[in-house]
Amino acid sequence: MLQRTIKLAGEWSRMLLGIAALMVLAGCASTLSARVTTFQQWPADSQGAHYRIVPPSGDTLEVQAFSDMIRAAIGRTGLVEAQGEQKPRFDVHFEYGATVSQEWVQRFHDPYFDNFGPWGWGGYYGGFRGWGGGIYYTPAVVNVPVQVSKNTLTVIIRDNQRQGAQVYKSTAVSTAGSLVEVMPYLAQAVFDGFPGNNGQVRNITYELQ
């Protein structure tokens, strides 16, 4: 009887973990979330003003591609890119990067890979606090290290009519995919709801295309 109970608990454990994994994969496959922090003192007389993109040092193909992504997303601001000899009012700077860090998460023991039995089998107790003898089960939780990737894009806009003062700074962070994969969404996120509230922190979710 005891062995049958342990076997059933193990089967339920595997089934629930499988369902949870499928739900996570389904969610990851359809949406992408970014955490956006924005600071701004956006001038009211900026509609239709010209801007230019000032990329980071090193005119690489990667930088050119990311510049195009920012150029595609900046249209919602009402700014117009300066052409030729036009003198822009705003300089649009950007920085980006990807880091990997180790974090700790909790999970249940796998009943087939630890020494405690399914669901952290606690063993036998008897005559305890008025209860009769029997078998008790407790979820065995362990802390495990996981690698977390963080993709970051920061856009800073400076106003040349104010001696280059910062008038907009927005940072978008996502832990999904690679930097190249998520950059178009990060570019959208930094201008989402532009110019927004000063000191605003938001979580934004996009449907993946």
Shortest CA distance to 13 belongs to which of 117, 92, 86?
117
- HSE-up of residue 121 (Cα within 13 Å, Cβ side): 21
The predicted-structure confidence for 133-179, as pLDDT tens digits, reads as follows 555 555 677 787 777 789 999 999 999 999 999 999 999 999 988 89
Residue 126, φ and ψ in degrees, nearest 5: -150, 140
pLDDT of the residue at 176 = 85
pLDDT of the residue at 208 = 83
pLDDT of the residue at 149 = 81
Per-position b or e across 16-28, b if 16+ CB within 10 A of its CB: eeeeeeeeeeeee
Task: Give the start-end residues of each E strand in 72-140.
Answer: 80-81, 90-108, 121-125, 134-137
pLDDT of the residue at 192 = 94
Q: Is the dihedral of CA 177, 179, 183, 186 positive or negative?
A: positive
